[in-house]
Chains A and B, each alone.
Chain A
Amino acid sequence: MRRVVITGQGTINALGQDVATTLDAMRDGRCGIAELELRDVDRLSVKIGGQVKGYEPEALFNRQQIALYDRFTQFTLIATKEALAQSGLSFAGQLAARSGVVFGTAGGGVNTWDENYRSVYEEGKNRVHPFVVPKLMNNAAASHVSMEYNLKGPSFSVATACASSNHAMGQAFQMIRTGLCDAMVTGGSEAMLTFGGVKAWEGLRVMSKDACRPFSATRNGMVQGEGAAVFVFEEYEHARARGAEILAEMVGFAMTSDAADIVMPSKQGAARAISGAMRDAGLNPEDIGYINAHGTGTAANDKTECAAVADAFGHHANDLMISSTKSMHGHLIGGTGAVELLACIMALREGVIAPTIGYEEPDPECALDVVPNVARDAKVGAVLSNAFAFGGLNAVLALRAVA
């Protein structure tokens, strides 16, 4: 099987509008979660989120583009530009035909749905803009990236709630590994911080009103975020032949389904995905130095995830580090695994483990090294990134450093 490496990364999220700023924030343990700025916020009972602030789409896109690009598409295009610039790849001829785009998003153009429902239901208008459908569709971001960069191979979007990005990147990985494609632009995006988007989450009664504190005994729920992260996956020999800088190697991927409950996570389903990713990568539990946790900060996820890690790793669970960067950027839902992959790559390349901030008090049910509050210098050779979605759909990625 062919080897797959990462040669570019880009992002925009609550911690920063590029990779360097985001990684600085993760190193500093800075929190990007703050008061939400959105219409009718006074009618929300949850008023915080990991929102991208100081963002001016008009400075980056022209009027015609904004008419077609929902916020989730804008985020994707911004992150893609950064990732492709770093990779140095451009697509023409055979490479264009053998390269595609796979992005995760749970909601797609939620802002477009929200604004136009408001206009027809609340304001009583009987006409909407002609581009509402192409703007809100879940595949809009993947399509615009394929158009902008001439990617003519397989492109599609993946929607598996909170695991969307990991499922998407897993697909991209397998497509290169098995020889279907030579390069893939992949990752995920979400822009669900709208009145309706937050209201929907409020209904489930799992949101925190003050902070995201994964693994802490004092945790009281998740906090939504928004943004995107995009990566360039490339076949190893192709990357080497052109002298590209290799950020990390994607070495394994596993998907499982709990087949149990629509919202409650299962230890077995998560543990099978974790073990499966290591097996697929040919790695032993002792090889893994760091796990970027799903770590949502809910009572149910965090204890189930820790139990699953303990099951999958046995004694080694006590020797590895596991942190949840959602404490800083919030839960980007369908985009979350992509932003979290940045922390995995930072661990491999720079030997810096992003912390779990907001950690106040140990929870006996989460008795692992969660890298509380302060980033840590540690050399790790291989890492995992967990994502466990509502609906019981689990997707775990395994990465390795490339010397």
Chain B
Amino acid sequence: MADSVQDRVIAIIAEQAVLEPGDVAMDNSLEDLGIDSLGLVESIFAIEEAFDIQVPFNANEPEQSAFDISSVAAIVKAVEGLVADQK
């Protein structure tokens, strides 16, 4: 299941970055991928819709959010956590 969350998150991020999923590396930051603040908010929305979860994220204080967006790997881990919490 973990792979599946990872693949789906990467697909969402890749679409936002206009890249192929294979071009998204786990240690990339969203900035590396050319995703700006609007792209980030759109990605979070897409993740919420895809996994039917609520992502705690306030654009005013991203560093204080419980949702770590520092890298693709961090986002995948955070989404896995939220999906697990929901079960």
Chain A interface mostly: loop
**How far apart sit A203 and B54, CA to CA, in the bound complex (Å)?**
12
CB neighbors of B among A157-174 (8 A): none
Residue A99 interfacial (CB < 8 Å): no
Given A220-B58, A299-B61, does the pair A262, B38 have CB atoms closer than 8 Å?
A: yes
Residue B51 interfacial (CB < 8 Å): no
Of the four ranges (under 10, 10 to 19, 20 to 34, 35 or more), the interface on chain B belongs to: 10 to 19
Residue A189 interfacial (CB < 8 Å): no
**How far apart sit A264 and B41, CA to CA, in the bound complex (Å)?**
13
A220 touches B45 (CB 8 A): no
**How far apart sit A253 and B61, CA to CA, in the bound complex (Å)?**
34
**Residue from B37, B45, B60 within 8 A of A219 (CB atoms):** B60
Chain A residues with Cβ below 8 Å from B37 are 263-264
**How far apart sit A206 and B38, CA to CA, in the bound complex (Å)?**
11
CB neighbors of B among A232-287 (8 A): 262-264
Q: Which of B38, B59, B60 has the most CB of A within 10 A?
A: B60
CB neighbors of B among A178-218 (8 A): 203-208
Chain B residues with Cβ below 8 Å from A11 are none
B60 touches A221 (CB 8 A): yes
Residue A111 interfacial (CB < 8 Å): no
Chain B residues with Cβ below 8 Å from A204 are 41, 59
**How far apart sit A51 and B82, CA to CA, in the bound complex (Å)?**
34
Q: Report how many A-B pairs have Cβ atoms within 8 Å.
A: 33
Residue A298 interfacial (CB < 8 Å): yes
Chain B residues with Cβ below 8 Å from A298 are 59-60
Chain B residues with Cβ below 8 Å from A220 are 58, 60-61
Chain B residues with Cβ below 8 Å from A264 are 37
**How far apart sit A206 and B59, CA to CA, in the bound complex (Å)?**
5
Output the least CB separation between B45 and chain A (Å): 7
Question: Chain B residue with minimal CB distance to A302?
Answer: B60
**How far apart sit A356 and B57, CA to CA, in the bound complex (Å)?**
26
CB neighbors of A among B51-83 (8 A): 54, 57-61
**Residue from A203, A205, A263, A300 within 8 A of B58 (CB atoms):** A205
**How far apart sit A204 and B38, CA to CA, in the bound complex (Å)?**
8
Given A263-B38, A264-B37, does the pair A299, B45 have CB atoms closer than 8 Å?
A: no
Question: Chain B residue with minimal CB distance to A263?
Answer: B38
Question: Chain B residue with minimal CB distance to A301?
Answer: B60
B38 touches A299 (CB 8 A): no
B60 touches A299 (CB 8 A): yes
B45 touches A206 (CB 8 A): no
Residue B44 interfacial (CB < 8 Å): yes
Chain A residues with Cβ below 8 Å from B61 are 220, 299
B45 touches A221 (CB 8 A): no
Chain A residues with Cβ below 8 Å from B59 are 204-206, 221, 298-299
Q: Which 9 A-B pairs have the closest CB atoms?
A: A299-B60, A205-B59, A221-B60, A220-B60, A205-B41, A206-B59, A220-B61, A298-B60, A205-B57
B contact set with A: CB distance below 8 Å: 37-38, 41, 44-45, 54, 57-61
* 21 A–B pairs (Cβ distance < 8 Å), ordered by A: A45-B54, A203-B41, A203-B45, A205-B58, A205-B59, A206-B59, A206-B60, A207-B58, A208-B58, A208-B60, A219-B60, A220-B58, A220-B61, A221-B58, A221-B59, A221-B60, A263-B37, A263-B38, A264-B37, A298-B60, A299-B59
